[in-house]
Amino acid sequence: MKTDVFIGLGSNLQEPSAQLAGAVAELAALPDTTLIAQSPFYTSSPVGPQDQPDFVNGAVWLSTGLDPHALLDQLQAIEQAHGRERFSHWGPRTLDLDLLIFGNHVLDDDRLSVPHCELPNRDFALQPLLDLKPDLTLPNGTAVAALRAQCPDNRLRRLLPPDYS
């Protein structure tokens, strides 16, 4: 049985938009997983230390047969393949993949919390989720749109798609 999941993507190093585009392709190729939709990309101020470049963020909607921890392992492998280094909390990164929502599952253990515990405070995650599914709700019934309406502003700006002409 497959579950609808939503993954947040972020990068602020080494051509962030290209990092995210590559990650979307890799997520679409995961075993027992189908890419349903991809959000537009946005720029936003960094969370935490401000002495780093702005981030590019987006989200994808997947349908997967993987369990939450197996999916987390896959996400971390993709991050590693993109050169992710964990030097500091909320520091700059080549790629960050966050498991935001995993169907109606609520999980909080030493490796994973879903829905993502910081989701209500992250406009750069909430807005892409709304782009993917405007009526999306958390397992507790809270509408993502209601969270977005109350979320602090992080200088979120939608990026225009690349012009390949």
93 is catalytic: yes
C-beta atoms surrounding 77 within 10 Å? 13
131 is catalytic: no
98 is catalytic: yes
111 is catalytic: no
102 contacts 7 by C-beta, under 8 angstroms: no
Catalytic residue among 4, 84, 131, 148: 84
Closest CA to 39 of 62, 55, 16: 62
Q: Residues 87, 124, 24, 15: is their CA dihedral positive or negative?
A: negative
Catalytic residue among 93, 109, 153, 158: 93
Q: Is 63 exposed, middle or buried (0-12, 13-18, 19+ CB in 10 A)?
A: middle
Question: Angle CA(112)–CA(115)–CA(119) in degrees, nearest 5?
Answer: 110
Q: Which residues are catalytic?
A: 84, 93, 96, 98
